[in-house]
Amino acid sequence: MVEESSESHVPGYVRPGHALRHVAGERRAWLPVALSMFTVAWGGNEFTPLLVLYRQAGEFSPVFVDLMLVAYAIGVAVGLLVTGPLTDRYGRRPIMLPAPVLAVLASVIIALAEHTAGWMTVGRFLSGLAVGMAMTGGGSWVKELSAPLFDPKAGPSSGAKRASMALTAGFAVGPAVAGVLAQWLPWPGQLSFGVHVVLSLVLVPLLLTIPETRQPAIHAKRRSVLDSLRVPSLRNPRFYAVVLPIAPWVFGSGFTAYATLSARMQDHVAHPLAFSGAITLLTLGVGFAIQQAAPAIAGTGGPRGPVVAMVATIAGFVGAVAVVLNPSVPVMLVACVFLGLSYGLCVYTGLSEVQRMAAPNELGALTGIFYCFTYTGMAFPALLTRLSDWFSYPLMLGFGAVVATIVLGVVSVTGRRF
């Protein structure tokens, strides 16, 4: 919720609600921002089913194919850590408006660099950078536009739910479309990126109609750049005791499903590219659906949200062990349902916790830090591939289930204490 601060007494300050009152009365002002977040997430994750294509082509080593996920994650981390403080200082529009354009540039580079490792890495980095910008600038913008001042029907959890669902929908639909196009239509390494470019360019004009919800000139005068990098909300012990333990499982669960398990199943299905896209859609589709009920599940604090999220995580990793021991489509589907529940509950719970504890002028920065920790989970596939020379997949995924059980024990205690 956008709160009235001391800046409201500065001459020339215009309350955001006044600027948007006519917008809120005519349409949902948050929706164009959420749609642009959707397209940026689409571009970020449509690459996932194509990992099967790159493995089949044999031009890149298996480790390099997985490391392209890491290049993407590094781009996301840079975007989150740099643009989080900047969006609090300069406003939401300057950070969010370039994000879909940068995502388009990334798609063009990746489509043209199908056989070039260096340019492929650059494209993946830029794609991640765009996603990081959308998460901080776009997520904060959606949160502020979801306040009752702008949207009378919005509840306390509306901002977190809308932001996380916009990203989840993009992460799910993008790879599903890419998998189908790459499996059955020409130009498998280019066509899906072309679709993303067209979709993004169609939706960008809608984003231009939404006014700023922050007052960047006011904040620039009252806070130095160095002050913008400081995030006093990080002193909240609940961030370390509850939020951080569940953060890596957001994408750790997701990418275990549609990167690691899909790779283990590609020799057991007739259409591996389409299957990979379908698995991504299933996993993140479940994650999207559970976020509808997540506010009721997680409540407004306490241990329930983190505990339920980690129970789903444990079940998902146990299911992953069953898949690699007995490659079976039905077993795979069940495992992916639980991994999708883990993704959806972990991302909603963490984001809602962050939005409750962040001061208004620290929302972007703290959101960026949280998302940065979620993306550490994207290193799971590359790590498992690298360690597979020494350890079996059942052993490594079983170890993941054990670690998730330990985290469950931790958050069940700290969720009550802090």
Q: What is the pTM of this model?
A: 0.76
Give which of 86, 370, 144 is closest to 246, Cα–Cα. Answer: 370
Angle (nearest 5°) at CA 99 between 95 and 105: 145
Name the one residue in this structure whose structure tokens are 């029907």.
153
Using an 8 Å Cβ cutoff, are 338 and 325 in contact?
no
Q: What pLDDT is attached to residue 27?
A: 54
Listed in sequence order, the residues at least 6 apart from 259 whose beta carbon sits closer than 8 Å to its beta carbon are 48, 51, 66, 69, 380, 381
Mean pLDDT (whole number) for 40-64: 80
Q: Cα–Cα distance between 372 and 367 in angstroms, integer?
A: 8
Write down the domain spans for the chain: 23-417
Using an 8 Å Cβ cutoff, are 301 and 314 in contact?
no
Residues in the chain: 418
**What percent of the chain is predicted at pLDDT more than 90?**
31
Using an 8 Å Cβ cutoff, are 378 and 69 in contact?
yes
The pLDDT of residue 195 is above 90: yes
Lowest mean pLDDT among 95-109, 140-154, 175-189, 396-410: 140-154
Q: What pLDDT is attached to residue 8?
A: 39
Q: What pLDDT is attached to residue 378?
A: 76
Using an 8 Å Cβ cutoff, are 135 and 366 in contact?
no
* CATH among 3.90.1300.10, 1.10.10.60, 1.20.1250.20, 1.20.200.10 for 23-417: 1.20.1250.20
Does residue 257 or residue 114 have the better pLDDT?
Answer: 257
Q: Cα–Cα distance between 129 and 396 in angstroms, integer?
A: 30
Q: Cα–Cα distance between 102 and 119 in angstroms, integer?
A: 15
Residue 247 φ/ψ, nearest 5 degrees: -60, -50
Neighbours of 189 (CB within 10 A): 17
Q: Cα–Cα distance between 405 and 334 in angstroms, integer?
A: 19
